């Protein structure tokens, strides 16, 4: 296995898939000459040419709509949106067209497209460029939404997303691009809709996705030194949502904390907590706690931004409070 960055894993997978299938092409803002805002598409224009690496105007509704049409006609577009915040400009194309065409036309045509887009705070980009609004899309039947937290999962889930016949929103967090991890030289596509237990434990389950799945792993490692055995579940996919893996873990540990970068109210954590209540209520020794972002437009000032975002410290506190409530001795 090679140790590479999350960014490199995405680049290598796109390049590999474009060599594998001539129907795969890239489309988005500044992905060609500029090589992408985050350099995921570095070298792609020179290697594959303008026909398969399509620079677009700053007009998300237009180029997402063009990708929907291309997908309906048999191509496999991979769209790069500069941030998930800009997807709101293309909301009609994503929610009313990409997500619904297969069902509305009785399966006569599918929309095999991938929308790659980063989100998340912590980069001092201001309130309108730092949101985690994946819930908007995870709410919509007809879309698939994935959120890998490691380079290996980024590679495996991107392969699966490009091969999928449904439209897939592929979420990347800006804070993950430079993180490193082992990646198989010849990875198999991941199963979309399948969570992963990334760390076994017996005292409490910590559930997260994207950046917070990474933070959960770090917290679990620290907790081990305190005599606390935390199991970590990385959701990886928000739609379909793997409730079974979450419930099975909580039935074993009896306690759960859900960590998410989006806002608390109506968030992904609320859905997870409800799923735990449905499937593991009789096994719970304490209420499910949730750790999320402060419910404010994210401040620009670095200290305020840091205070608003969920952190390893806030997650650790939630774990301690949960275990204290059930009399766990450290």
The residues carrying an active-site annotation are: 60, 129
Task: Decide: 187 and 157 in contact? Cβ < 8 Å.
Answer: no
Looking at the DSSP assignment, which residues form a beta bridge with residue 182? 3
Q: Is 191 exposed, middle or buried (0-12, 13-18, 19+ CB in 10 A)?
A: middle
Instruction: Take residue 89 and report the two structure tokens written for it.
Output: 């400009």
Calpha distance 50→27 (Å, rounded): 10
Task: Decide: 59 and 34 in contact? Cβ < 8 Å.
Answer: no
Calpha distance 99→20 (Å, rounded): 26
Residues 6+ apart with CB under 8 A from 274: none
Closest CA to 250 of 293, 322, 202: 202
Calpha distance 255→58 (Å, rounded): 47
- DSSP per position, 265-321: TT-HHHHHHHHHHHHHGGG-SSPPEEEEE-SSPPPSSHHHHHHHS--HHHHHHHHHH
- Report the interhelical angle of 312-325 vs 211-224 (nearest 10°): 60
CB atoms within 10 A of CB 270: 17
Instruction: Take residue 127 and report the two structure tokens written for it.
Output: 């309130």
Residues 6+ apart with CB under 8 A from 127: 297, 298, 299, 300
């Amino acid at each position: 296995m090679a140790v590479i960055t999350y960014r490199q894993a995405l680049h290598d997978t796109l390049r590999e898939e474009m060599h594998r299938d001539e129907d795969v092409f890239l489309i988005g803002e500044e992905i060609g000459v500029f090589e992408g805002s985050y350099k995921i598409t570095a070298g792609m224009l020179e290697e594959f040419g303008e026909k398969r690496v399509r620079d677009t105007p700053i007009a998300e509704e237009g180029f997402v709509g063009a990708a929907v049409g291309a997908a309906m006609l048999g191509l496999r577009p991979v769209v790069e949106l500069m941030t998930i915040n800009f997807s709101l400009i293309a909301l009609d194309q994503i929610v009313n067209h990409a997500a619904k065409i297969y069902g509305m036309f009785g399966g006569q045509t599918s929309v095999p497209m991938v929308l790659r887009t980063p989100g998340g705070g912590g980069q001092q980009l201001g309130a309108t460029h730092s949101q985690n609004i994946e819930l908007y899309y995870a709410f919509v039947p007809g879309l698939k939404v994935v959120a890998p937290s490691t380079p290996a999962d980024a590679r495996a889930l991107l392969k699966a997303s490009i091969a999928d016949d449904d439209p897939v929103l592929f979420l990347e967090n800006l804070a993950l691009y430079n993180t490193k991890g082992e990646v198989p030289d010849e990875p198999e596509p991941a199963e979309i809709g399948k969570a992963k237990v990334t760390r076994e434990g017996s005292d409490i389950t910590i559930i997260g996705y994207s950046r917070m799945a990474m933070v959960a792993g770090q917290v679990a490692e620290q907790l081990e030194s305190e005599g606390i055995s935390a199991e970590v579940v990385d959701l990886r996919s928000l739609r379909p949502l793997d409730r079974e893996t979450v419930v099975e873990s909580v039935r074993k540990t009896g306690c759960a904390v859900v960590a998410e970068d989006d806002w608390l109210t109506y968030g992904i954590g609320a859905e997870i907590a409800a799923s735990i209540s449905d499937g593991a209520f009789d096994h719970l020794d304490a209420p499910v706690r949730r750790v999320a972002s402060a419910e404010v437009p994210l401040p620009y000032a670095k200290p305020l931004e840091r205070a608003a975002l969920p952190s390893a410290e806030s997650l650790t506190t939630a774990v301690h409070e949960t275990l204290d409530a059930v009399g766990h001795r450290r």
